[in-house]
Amino acid sequence: MSEQLRAEHLLIKFNGSRNPVSRRTGASTSNVSYQEALEELSRWLKDIQDGKLTFEEAAQARSDCGSFAKGGDLGFFGPGEMMKPFEDAVRSLRVGEISGVVQTDSGLHIIKRLA
């Protein structure tokens, strides 16, 4: 049996995302530059690190992924089920640890490993 991982994430899509539409708002993100997305995601990360809100609260308030409704929880997944940069980032974290900014074809993420 392969190792199952579990993670939450906060995704910000931008004009370079493969599908630049927010699953939270339904709005296009084609007007958001990479730099704007990076700066905004960095602010969310700082607020989480400073204890202003939890990771889950931030994901629910801002993530462009449909998982926003579950505080960013993607559930369990196995090898090859997520994009390689995302899976590699999850594997590099300890349970409970939050990543820095990770880029995939979907956009920019911060990730919290749950299992």
User: Mind listing the pLDDT tens digit for each residue in 30-49?
Assistant: 999 999 999 999 999 999 99
CA distance 75 to 52: 25
Q: What is the C-alpha radius of gyration for the chain, rounded to an integer number of angstroms? A: 13
pLDDT of 75 reads 97
pLDDT at 2 (0 to 100)? 67
State pTM to two decimals. Answer: 0.96
CA-based max dimension of the chain: 43
* 1 pLDDT more than 90: no
Tens-digit pLDDT profile for residues 66-89 = 999 999 999 999 999 999 999 999
Mean pLDDT, the chain, integer: 97
Place 3 in a pLDDT band, splitting at 50, 70 and 90: confident
Q: Determine phi and psi for 102, rounding to 5 degrees.
A: -120, 130
Domains annotated for the chain, with CATH where assigned, are 5-113 (3.10.50.40)
pLDDT at position 81? 96
pLDDT band for 53, please (50, 70, 90 cuts).
very high
